[in-house]
Amino acid sequence: MSMDIERRESPEDRRQPFSKVSKADYLQLYYYLFLTRTLEDRVTALYRQGRIVGGVYTSHGMEAISVGYAYALEAGDVIAPMHRDMGAFLIRGMKPKEILAQYLGKRTGPTKGKDANVHMGDLKRGIFAFVSHLADNLPLATGAALAFKIRGQSQVVVANTGDGGTSRGDFHEALNFAAVRKLPVVFFCCNNQYAYSTPLELQMGTPDVVDRAKAYGIPSEIIDGNDVAVVYVTAQRVIKHAREGHGPSFIECKTMRMHGHAEHDSAKYVPKELLEEWKRKDPILKVEHALKTMGYADESVLMEIQERVKKEIDTAVEFAEESPLPEGPETLEGVYAETLEEVHV
């Protein structure tokens, strides 16, 4: 499938996105991109050592999407992530040590060992936990947006889905409801061209996922998902649109899944040339190049950030490894929420 980002009118902010991003923000975006990459690479390494028991799904090569949209959000906003949104977890305040504890099934992880890998959630940080059943989180996102609307709040929800997830009925029902009620929710789609082993042309009859949004009358755009500045600036714009009461948007981020579906999958079904083509478009390479071009950072500044990140992750791995596993009887805890406790704000 050939990518055709320029097929639609692209607003000014997409043609020169970097001009809209301050130096401080740009460096911060770089930090998060690098943090995401480093954290996931470490998880992959731990997986290869047999120290992670369940599966590992990474956003390798796609980090700019979740970093970009999450960076555009405000404190009270909510995300309903997909399974390749590590950057968003980090930006919303989930600590690497908590995340690693989650992967190792430790009690110090956000689910206390109850759930696996990317199934982390924390309402206080505005993070809905990912649900394996793809697209199930999208109706939830509309519900959170509905709550904001009913209460007259100006918060916004961002939901993310893969290309594969858009084939499910819940995608349809969620987008339709959001459109009818003009809810403050933005739908991102990481179109990484595969759902597990299934290429796009066996998933849908149109070339672009964005065509789906037309069915609902939801304004939509295709953007370069590997350029964090593009994602960030677009997200800012459509989130503002939603925040101001103009309803949902749909953003298709073209990208490529650079690892297997999960770390056990060698992804032989992906043509090598496709991977090579996309390797050149790596989001970290892109941002490094941009930072240098703009004069925002030289090699030493980047190295400094990289060192900082590596230390952070080392400490986090240590924490996670030293953390206790939960004990058997904890299995029985938490099936029901306490009846009398008022759990919500």
Ligand X SMILES: Cc1ncc(C[n+]2csc(CCOP(=O)(O)OP(=O)(O)O)c2C)c(N)n1
When the beta carbons of 19 and 331 are compared against other proteins, the nearer one is 331
Where does this chain touch a second copy (CB under 8 A) — which range of 2-10, 178-186, 268-276, 286-294?
A: 178-186
- Alpha-helical (H) ranges within 53-184 are 63-71, 86-91, 96-103, 137-150, 169-180
Q: Could you say which residues in the range 230-259 bind ligand X, by CB under 6 A?
A: 257
Select from 76, 217, 245, 334 the one that contacts a second copy (CB under 8 A).
Answer: 217
* Cβ neighbourhood burial of 124 (10 Å; 0-12, 13-18, 19+): exposed
Is 274 among the residues that bind other proteins (CB under 8 A)?
no
Is 133 among the residues that bind ligand X (CB under 6 A)?
yes
CB of 196 to Mg ion, least distance (A): 8
Select from 16, 19, 132, 331 the one that contacts ligand X (CB under 6 A).
Answer: 132
Is the CB of residue 83 less than 8 Å from the CB of residue 161?
no
CA distances, 229 to each of 139, 180, 226, 322 (Å) = 28, 31, 9, 37
CB of 138 to ligand X, least distance (A): 11
Q: Which two tokens mark 340?
A: 């009398």
Q: Could you say which residues in the range 244-273 bind other proteins, by CB under 8 A?
A: 269
Query: Helix, strand or coil for residue 91?
Result: helix
Residue 214, contacted partner among a second copy, Mg ion, other proteins, none, CB below 5-8 A by kind: a second copy
Name the nearest CA neighbour of 30 among 302, 236, 308, 316: 302
Is 198 among the residues that bind other proteins (CB under 8 A)?
yes
Residue 201, contacted partner among other proteins, a second copy, Mg ion, none, CB below 5-8 A by kind: a second copy
Where does this chain touch a second copy (CB under 8 A) — which range of 4-12, 83-91, 205-213, 299-307?
A: 205-213
* Cβ neighbourhood burial of 176 (10 Å; 0-12, 13-18, 19+): middle
Select from 70, 78, 88, 190 the one that contacts ligand X (CB under 6 A).
Answer: 190
Please give the Cα distance from 213 to 189 (Å, whole number): 11
Please give the Cα distance from 226 to 197 (Å, whole number): 21
Is the CB of residue 28 less than 8 Å from the CB of residue 71?
yes
Name the nearest CA neighbour of 60 among 87, 94, 95: 87
Query: Helix, strand or coil for residue 289?
Result: helix
Residue 96, contacted partner among ligand X, Mg ion, other proteins, none, CB below 5-8 A by kind: none
Select from 58, 59, 111, 191 the one that contacts other proteins (CB under 8 A).
Answer: 111
Please give the Cα distance from 215 to 156 (Å, whole number): 22
Where does this chain touch a second copy (CB under 8 A) — which range of 55-63, 153-161, 179-187, 279-287?
A: 179-187
Is 192 among the residues that bind Mg ion (CB under 5 A)?
yes
How many residues of this chain bind ligand X (CB under 6 A)?
Answer: 16
Name the nearest CA neighbour of 128 among 146, 145, 110, 140: 140
When the beta carbons of 85 and 170 are compared against a second copy, the nearer one is 170
Please give the Cα distance from 259 to 279 (Å, whole number): 11
Residue 192, contacted partner among other proteins, Mg ion, a second copy, none, CB below 5-8 A by kind: Mg ion
Give the residues lining the site for ligand X (CB under 6 A): 84, 132-134, 162-165, 168, 190, 192, 194-196, 257, 261
Give the residues lining the site for Mg ion (CB under 5 A): 162-164, 192, 195
Give the residues lining the site for a second copy (CB under 8 A): 167-173, 176, 179-180, 182, 201-206, 211-218
